[in-house]
Amino acid sequence: MNRTEANTILGAPAVALTLLVLAGLLAWHQVAPDFSRLLVQETAYDPQRLLLLYSTLPRIVTALLAGAALALSGSLLQQVLRNPLASPETLGISAGANLALVAVILAFPALQGLGRDVVALFGSAAAAGVVFLIGARRGFSPFALILSGLIVSVWSGALAAILVLMNDRYLSGLFIWGAGSLAQQSWSIPLSLLPKIAILAAAAFLMARPLSLMELGDGGASGLGLSVKRIRIAAVCLAIVLAAIVTSAVGVIGFIGLIAPRVAHLAGARHMKSQLIWSPLIGAGLLLLTDQALMLLSGASSTFLPTGAITALLGAPLLLLMLPRFKAMQRNVPAPSQGSNRAANASRTLLLATVVGLAILLLGAIFFGRAPDGAWTILAYLQWPDVLPYRLPRVVAAFAAGTMLGVVGAILQRLSGNEMASPEVLGISAGATIGVTAALFILPAPGMAAQLGFGGLGAFAVLVAIFIFGIRSGFAPERVLLTGIALGAMLDAFISVLAASGDPRAMIVMQWMSGSTYLVDIPKATAATAAAFAGVALAFLAHRWLDLLPLGPQAAQAIGIRVNLARGCLFALAAAMTAAATLVVGPLSFIGLMGPHLARELGLRRATPQLAGAALAGGGLMVLADWFGRMIAFPYQIPAGLVSALVGAPLLLILLMKRRRTA
């Protein structure tokens, strides 16, 4: 027996058994006082017996089924997409369901029961359909599926958030569903889930061997006669259906799909067959343990607390505890070709054209807009002293923040070789959000300065935590990203619980998270510009690191680069720039995800051109989003962070559709 097999036998089963035993003990604590009522024939009305039979027990079974299904979905996605950050959210499944429900409930407020499930399933299927349409044009490569799924998720989430912000009185009930609720009133949901999940799980086990062969890579698996494209499509379809049926039944409980496969892998379940066994058991135990702990601690109010959000509070620390065992494999980015003078000239020409277009965009955002009566007009010279002091700082701050986020995204994606890496994944944005939330609850009437101060402290606290966890691993990129995801999920859980509680301050937090430049003044714009100038300059000075580190730590070290020092400096720079940008435009812009991809899709591959392209794309997108947010619903304003996703995501989708399968 080799060491890997021993770790699988001793590690993953022990973790799964521990979680299930702890969850079982808590469940028995809930059931035991009234369990005897099930063993006797009651003739009189017994509310405790009915509550146990039709609420508590169905909730336990639903938690086990949902946790197992989401974990199985995550295992399939991480295997076929060859990405440890892949999860059911990767393909926009949950975001599609949420958007469909928000839109339909606005049109049909009485929507309930089966109709609600059908709408959620339709939304998930529509999102997956868009992802597959783009993936088909790119040969169903993992990169295309992941990127298109993230774009669909960002776009759907942004549109749903805009609808919620504009109709918060009518959609407040979706907060609990959107964060995942396991509350049950009958056996209908678990009984409907059981046969579906059983059939899908059996299909997944039948695919265990071909899925294992995919570990050899597309070329190696194809050489053995495996149809990689068909297996990938089939596995992704299974993962989509598993996540969709759970989402339609209990809402968005997505963190299980990421955490359970990772914990199983870190515990020793490295082969696909062992992953298919232990990952669902770990997911089932983790979700049930979280739900039962929630019921024990919150009592009667547990019905109104989102289990999906609380799951992150337990799952994230578990992931952090397991990280020391994570042997990250550097996913090398192919070294860019040295190319010819023609390619270099093309990059310079493209960047020059982008600069010219950006200058026109900036002038238009400053001088073209709506008059007080709503008419479109060019700002007259006599109005400059009255209007520019309000409009100019917003445009400058938006451009500075977008520039920083675009550069950070390029740094993270080049460091990790992971197309999903972005400032939001690093967890810094969530730290700033929790800081602002703390200001709203600690201070009686916090002003903008107090909110920014608390937000900065929150971002700094997450940065310190990331460095504490990262320094032990030499700042291995995927470990740093997983740390950021875990910390971000924990912090986001607090926000979700706050939103579900109905506290009016939750809407203030949501508005801040949406990224509005409404309160930006000249000092704030000046500070953002200074931070952007310093950060971008440092990033360009580090271009050699960014060109060589993607070759792998051994190759970079052989060239003379101190890998750990370089990684630490680049992560510190990325975190500082993320914190500065988040305090201006909020944490949900996803400019850091879209900017580098826009630059790459335009052919900018080397570090310096890609940094420049990502900076210009990020700044331009944020300025355009801020202008649209101010003008579309005039005199009302839509947050720039949300509009940036609505503007940038379709642009990136168009580029993906035009550029067919790449080598």
Given the DSSP bridges, would you call strands 368-370 and 376-378 parallel, antiparallel or unpaired? antiparallel
Co-location of 146 and 271 in the same domain? yes
Least Cα distance to 181 among 239, 80, 249 occurs for 249
Query: What token pair was written down for 625?
Result: 């989003």
* Residue 262: pLDDT over 80: yes
pLDDT band at 1 (very low <50, low <70, confident <90, very high): very low
Highest mean pLDDT among 63-77, 209-223, 283-297, 586-600: 63-77
Answer whether residue 192 is part of any domain: yes
Co-location of 314 and 399 in the same domain? no
pLDDT tens-digit readout, 502-521: 666 666 776 666 666 766 78
Per 3-state DSSP, the chain is made up of helix, strand and coil in percentages (nearest 5) of: 80, 0, 20
Highest mean pLDDT among 182-186, 253-257, 276-280: 276-280
Answer whether residue 403 is part of any domain: yes
Co-location of 98 and 178 in the same domain? yes
Co-location of 401 and 305 in the same domain? no
Query: What token pair was written down for 492?
Result: 């986001």
Answer whether residue 349 is part of any domain: no
pLDDT band at 661 (very low <50, low <70, confident <90, very high): very low
Rounded to whole angstroms, the Cα distance separating 184 from 352 reads: 59
Co-location of 203 and 300 in the same domain? yes
Of residues 485 and 584, more confidently modeled: 584
pLDDT tens-digit readout, 531-583: 899 999 999 999 889 888 888 778 888 888 888 888 888 888 887 888 788 87
Answer whether residue 501 is part of any domain: yes
Co-location of 30 and 104 in the same domain? yes
pLDDT of residue 333: 44
Domain boundary at 280, 296, 325, which? 325
pLDDT of residue 325: 56
pLDDT band at 336 (very low <50, low <70, confident <90, very high): very low
CB 277 within 8 A of CB 271: no
Query: What token pair was written down for 145?
Result: 């599926």
pLDDT of residue 399: 92
Average pLDDT, the chain: 76
Least Cα distance to 594 among 472, 464, 420, 431 occurs for 420
Co-location of 141 and 217 in the same domain? yes
Answer whether residue 356 is part of any domain: no
Domain boundary at 325, 343, 376, which? 325
Of residues 275 and 299, more confidently modeled: 275
Co-location of 609 and 468 in the same domain? yes
pLDDT of residue 10: 55
pLDDT tens-digit readout, 368-407: 888 777 778 888 888 888 778 888 888 999 899 999 999 9
Burial of 195 (0-12, 13-18, 19+ CB in 10 A): exposed
pLDDT band at 282 (very low <50, low <70, confident <90, very high): very high
DSSP per-residue string spanning 427-451: THHHHHHHHHHHHHHHSSS--HHHH
Round the CA-based radius of gyration of the chain to a whole number and report it: 25
Co-location of 642 and 498 in the same domain? yes
- Structural domain including 653 reads 389-658
Domain boundary at 325, 357, 381, which? 325
Answer whether residue 348 is part of any domain: no
Highest mean pLDDT among 206-210, 456-460, 599-603: 206-210
Least Cα distance to 420 among 258, 311, 613 occurs for 258
* Residue 334: pLDDT over 50: no
Query: What token pair was written down for 257?
Result: 């799909």
pLDDT band at 199 (very low <50, low <70, confident <90, very high): very high
Answer whether residue 502 is part of any domain: yes
Co-location of 175 and 266 in the same domain? yes
Rounded to whole angstroms, the Cα distance separating 457 from 451 reads: 10
SS3 378: strand
pLDDT tens-digit readout, 123-132: 888 887 887 7
Percent of the chain with pLDDT over 90: 9
pLDDT of residue 534: 92
Highest mean pLDDT among 30-44, 283-297, 325-339: 283-297
Domain with 76 in it: what CATH number? 1.10.3470.10
Co-location of 317 and 398 in the same domain? no
Highest mean pLDDT among 271-275, 306-310, 495-499: 271-275
Of residues 388 and 202, more confidently modeled: 202
Percent of the chain with pLDDT over 70: 72
pLDDT tens-digit readout, 409-445: 899 888 877 666 777 766 777 777 778 778 877 887 7
Number of structural domains in the chain: 2
Which of 130-139, 295-304, 467-476 shows the lowest mean pLDDT across its residues?
295-304
Co-location of 305 and 421 in the same domain? no
CB 66 within 8 A of CB 250: yes
Answer whether residue 436 is part of any domain: yes
Q: How far is C-alpha 428 from the chain's CA centre? A: 13
Mean pLDDT of 225-229: 78
Of residues 356 and 164, more confidently modeled: 356
